[in-house]
A and B are shown apart, each in its own frame.
Chain A
Amino acid sequence: MTITVLLLIHGLMAMLLVGAITHQLIAAWRGAPKPGARFFNRLANVSTTTYTNAVIILYLCVVIGGGIIYPTYVIDVKASLTDAQMLSAIGAFEMKEHAAVFGLALLPTYRYFWSVDTSPAHALARKLNTTVVAAVVWWSLGVGHILNNIKGL
């Protein structure tokens, strides 16, 4: 029961994280805000810097939550996937656990280019850092969701 609640919180925080990093990613690549009532313009017209701390805090919470429920995955889910010979599902999860750590390692640099030195000279670095973090978050959410559909906790 506790693991189910933790998994639910982990998933909900991951959803919030995906929303925040996606807003920031689109706005970062789009450049200056453009007026308009269209959905895509509104999606991109956000204050990008205000998302930085939220992304970092959510990322840390999701990784810590994932670290807490990981042993249950190893015992309950991974064993079942191994028995069922679902090797690609196991591999996708292994990639997720590694990628999550790489994203974690990148967070200080990500924060630096969004909060400390926001000069235009670092625009490309800002975009690339945000893209990597966003890719990690999207991959992790997708794999986590699919694995939960295959064999939930």
Chain B
Amino acid sequence: MRNPLALGVFAVVFAGVYLASFINGWTAFRFYPLSNTFTTADLPRTAGPAMGWYAWIVQGFLAGMVASLLALIIPTSWGKRLGSSWTAVGIIAVTAFMFYVEWHWFAGK
């Protein structure tokens, strides 16, 4: 793909949907490392810790792909108006919000 606007949309939507999935617990499937099982079911606590990380990545990636395909429809002149640095700024903003969300680990709450 050689459309910087679509690539930028992919990055920001991927990161944003990943973080939204983590915050809101949107987890299409979970991995249970004790039994080495991927499942869409929410298993009881006896199944051990559940991991949603893989699902959040897949969800973010798919959302990013769909959004970047939609961005291909947008006229390139609109993309040029945005400049080329907004993607990195968007990722920095998502990262800053992630730090804010995760700060409770350090605040002792």
Contact = CB atoms under 8 A, between A and B. Distances in A.
B92 A105 contact: no
Given A91-B102, A102-B95, A108 B10 contact: yes
Interface residues of B, number: 44
Nearest to B53: A97
Interface residues of A, number: 37
Dominant secondary structure at the A interface: helix
Interface of B: 1-2, 4, 7-8, 10-12, 14-15, 18-19, 22, 31, 33-34, 36, 48-49, 51, 53-54, 56-57, 60, 64, 83-85, 87-89, 91-92, 94-95, 98-99, 102-106, 108
Give the residue among B8, B85, B106 with the most A Cβ atoms within 10 A: B85
17 contacts: A70-B51, A74-B33, A90-B105, A94-B102, A98-B95, A101-B56, A102-B91, A104-B57, A105-B18, A106-B87, A108-B10, A109-B7, A112-B4, A112-B7, A113-B4, A122-B84, A125-B87
